[in-house]
Structure formats: C-alpha cells, structure tokens
Amino acid sequence: MTTDTPRPPPRRSLFGAWGPRELKDLFWQVLVVGIAVGVVAFLWSNTVTNLSARRITTGFAFLGREAGMPIADSLLAYSPRDTYLWAFVVGIANTLRVAVIGIVLATILGTLVGISRLSANWLLSRLAAVYVETLRDIPLLLQLLFWYVLMQALPAARAAWRPVEGVFLSNRGLILPAIPFGPPQLWVLGTAAFGLVAFYVIRRWLIAQQMRDGRPRPAWPFALGLVVALPAAVSLVLGVSWTIEWPELRGFNFVGGLTLAPEYFALLIALVTYTSAFIAEIVRSGIQSVPRGQWDAANALGLRRSFMLRQIILPQALRVIVPPMTSQYLNLTKNSSLAVAIGYQDVVSVANTTLNQTGQAIEAIALIMAVFLTISLSISFFMNWFNARIALVER
C-alpha cells in the first residue's frame, strides 16, 4: 500500500500572480511608454521655448478675428469680414462637398467598370481594362493638373458648349439647372430622410414577422406613406415652391442655376476617375471570390445575369469588397487636399492662407489634422459598422 506524499504548496511570487516573465514584459512596456512621453515632452518644451524667443503667441484666439480672405467658391455664405473660425467652417464644407460626392460617384463608376471587366463582351472588357490600367498608373496630381488645364482651354461663356438644353460647359465651369433651396425645402428633405429611416425600421420588423409566422406582409403602403405622402403633405402645408431655376447668359457670365467652378469640377473628375480605377479592381476581385457553383446554380434556375449579380453574387462579394473599399474612401478624402494645387479653397487652402496671415503655423496645421482625422474616423466607423452587418455569422 503506497501513500501519496503531499506536494509542497506552490511558491508564490512577491507580486502575487506576476512572475519573472510578466515583470520583464511590464518593464519593457513601461520603458517604451516612458521614452515616448519623454520625446513628446521634449518636443513640446522645445517648441514653446522657440516660440517664446521669437515672440510668437500661441493659442486659438486668432479664430475670433476678422479673416479678410476671399473664398470664391463656397457652399456656405461667406464674406471677408467673417472670422477665421467661419472661414475654417466654410473650408471644411468645401472639403466635404468634394469627399461625399466623390465617394458616391467613384463607387458607382468603379462598380460599373469592375463588372464590365468580367463581361463576356470582348470589346467592353478590354476597354474597362485599359481604363483601369491607364488611370491608376498615372499620378493623381498629374491627372488633376490635366483636367484643370483642359477646363481652362474650354471656350468662353458666350461660346459655351450646350450638350443638353439648360446645361452649359465653358471655362467658367459647368452650369446646371437648379432648384433654389431655403429653410422650407430643407424641412421637406428632412421629412423625407425621416420617412426613409422609419420605413427601413418598419420593413425590418415586417421581415422579422414573416420569418416568425411565414405570412408575407406588404411594405409598399408604408413606403408610399412615409417617403412620398408625408413629405408631400409637409411641402403643401409650408407652401414650398419647387420651381426650376434655369441658367442664362447675361453679358460675359451666366446668371441663375448651379455653377460648378472649374477648380471644383476638375478636382471632382480627377478624384472620381482615379479612385474608381482602384474600386473597379476591388469589385472585380470580390465578384471572382464568389464560388463558381453560385453562378451555375443561378444559371440552372434560368435567372437573368443582371438579377444574379444584384441578388446573389454582389451580396456575397460585399464581404470581400467592403474592407479594401474603406481604404479607397479614406484615400479619396485625404487626396482632396491636393485641391490647393489648382486653387480650390478647401480646408487646407484656408489653413495655408490663415497661416500666412497670422503666423499661427502649429495651430493651423493642428486644425487640418483634426479635421481629416475626424472625417476619416467617421468613414471608418460607418464602414466597419456596415461590414459587421453583412458579415457571415457562424452557427
């Protein structure tokens, strides 16, 4: 008969669960963080000392002073008598004006080109390949300058091209018919946006009910009421006018309508075409990642190719497309800072002018960094949320 000898209790470290390996890892982490903090403190102290020696004031008090700078093409109302703070707000609005519209147009164009690369039509697929390989191999700045020079070479306003009735293209930019917007129109658009959100929630609830009991419930009455009838009722109550303002030539320039300045139009074209070439490759690779069996099964059912792409292939390809697409959206937003090369006054251009007038270099650059960081983080947050929504959930 053998008896088990009792084992001695494990030796406990002086630091509880922390062993030599954990203490070593902690030491190196504290050392790295301490070095980083020390470098930042040294740079900050050196900067403050040099600014004091040159009698350069620091802080953001200059934002309350009169800017005195002109901004030719602004989405918001602005005059040189406004403050630097409002000038920065106008610059941010101009940046968002390029980024948001550019992302939408680049996504549409890139998706079409990417699908065209997989087309059975030999000519269409070759043209799409040439488009992609040409545009993504030329630096964006050169493309931007090319489009800007091309806009300057267009005829004057009196000899403007008229591709469509009411649309003019000249060295003054692209002039389009427009609907004048004011607070009443914005109320109607806000109501329509609210109706879309409400319809999305109701539609998800109807789908959940159908999955529970198998009884389909039509969603179109809610769409008709929330998206069409409700905004129409608000428009009728407020007496909103939806007249179209047509541009016309008076003297040497156009009056009325919507004018896209040459700088803005050239920047938008360059960003959209350049980014769409990369998006096209992302879409093509995403579609090719879908197993061939999905195509064969859809063909066996006799489904149209457009229906297959829209309802079967692209929803599965989105799981591959969305992550690299996020990077392209961020690139387009950051590349909009090249607008300073052609004189379009975005937030970078406004900050540069502010820097030259006030000498507040650190503050101006910090504002630019904060603006682009905020916009980029917002895009990343939305795309990560969307990616999580479409991700496959393993059971």
Task: For the sheet with 168-170, list strands across it.
Answer: 168-170, 173-176, 258-260
The structural domains of the chain, ordered by start, are 84-157+262-390 (1.10.3720.10), 186-238 (no CATH)
pLDDT tens for each residue of the chain, 395 residues long:
455 556 655 555 545 556 677 788 888 899 999 999 999 888 878 877 777 776 666 778 888 888 888 888 888 888 889 999 999 999 999 999 999 999 999 999 999 999 999 888 899 999 999 999 999 999 999 999 999 999 888 888 888 888 888 888 888 888 888 877 777 888 888 898 998 999 888 988 888 888 787 788 888 888 888 888 988 898 888 888 778 888 888 877 788 788 888 999 999 999 999 999 999 999 999 888 888 888 778 778 777 777 787 778 888 888 889 999 999 999 999 999 999 899 898 999 999 999 888 888 888 898 999 999 999 999 999 999 888 887 765 55
Indicate the pTM of the whole model: 0.80
Question: How far are the Cα atoms of 129, 208, 209, 328 from residue 215, in angstroms, in the given order?
Answer: 47, 10, 8, 42
Contacts of residue 360, defined as CB under 8 A and 6 or more positions apart, other chains included, come to: 57, 58, 60, 62, 354
Residue 292 burial by CB count (10 A; 0-12/13-18/19+): exposed, middle or buried? exposed
Q: Please check whether residue 132 is in contact with residue 277, taking contact to mean a CB–CB distance below 8 angstroms.
A: yes
Q: Residue 373's closest CA among 318, 317, 333, 320?
A: 333
